[in-house]
A = this chain, B = another copy of it.
Amino acid sequence: MQFSKSTDYALHALIHLGLSESRNHIGIKELSASLGVSESYLSKIMSKLRQDGIVRAVPGVNGGYELARPADRITFLDVIHVIEGRQQLFECSNSSSRQHRLLAEGRVERQETERWGQGECLVEKVMVGAERHLHQYLREHTIQMVLDEANRIRSAEGIEK
């Protein structure tokens, strides 16, 4: 249970773009050199980000990538959804198992029958709550926050010198 390297690459690439907002476009060469990943692989990831409207891409000479919207409107959850997909954190692998049937038996008229009967599982219920928590946190953290933190660190150095 771990986020993929692709998610790591995507987040770092976006931060690189954010730190380079002054310049126009950043090419895949610069990005891949900065992150230490091959151009070919990183370009796959950038394509996904483009398809989901996180970055814009411009082909041709002097082309490259830029953020498609302000960094404070790109959340960690946005990026993770693009790269990891939207499958849920936990899926009960067998809702028709004996265990579930036993609990579901005779519950034809009860309020909760619909959910249970359609495969809602008490374990899954807990895990869905966990996922909601996690997503809430990731939605509250944006690329801009990381940029701010980076700038704070750098300016603190400047003062010291």
Contacts and interface: CB of A to CB of B under 8 A. Distances in A.
Interface of A: 1-5, 7-9, 11-12, 15-16, 33-37, 76, 80, 84, 87-94, 96-99, 103, 106-107, 109-110, 112, 116, 122-123, 125-127, 129-130, 133-134, 137-138, 141, 145-146, 149-150, 153-154, 156-157, 160-161
A106 B156 CA distance: 11
A161 B105 CA distance: 13
B129 A146 contact: no
A3 B127 CA distance: 10
Contacts of A91: 2, 8
A97 B157 contact: no
How many copies of this chain sit in the oligomeric assembly?
2
Given A3-B89, A36-B94, A112-B153, 9 more contacts: A2-B87, A3-B127, A11-B123, A15-B122, A76-B126, A106-B157, A110-B157, A122-B149, A126-B141
A87 B122 CA distance: 26
A14 B112 CA distance: 24
B1 A89 contact: yes
Given A34-B99, A122-B150, A149-B122, A8 B92 contact: yes
Contacts of A160: 109-110
Given A33-B98, A150-B122, A3 B107 contact: no
A71 to B, nearest CB: 13
B137 A133 contact: yes
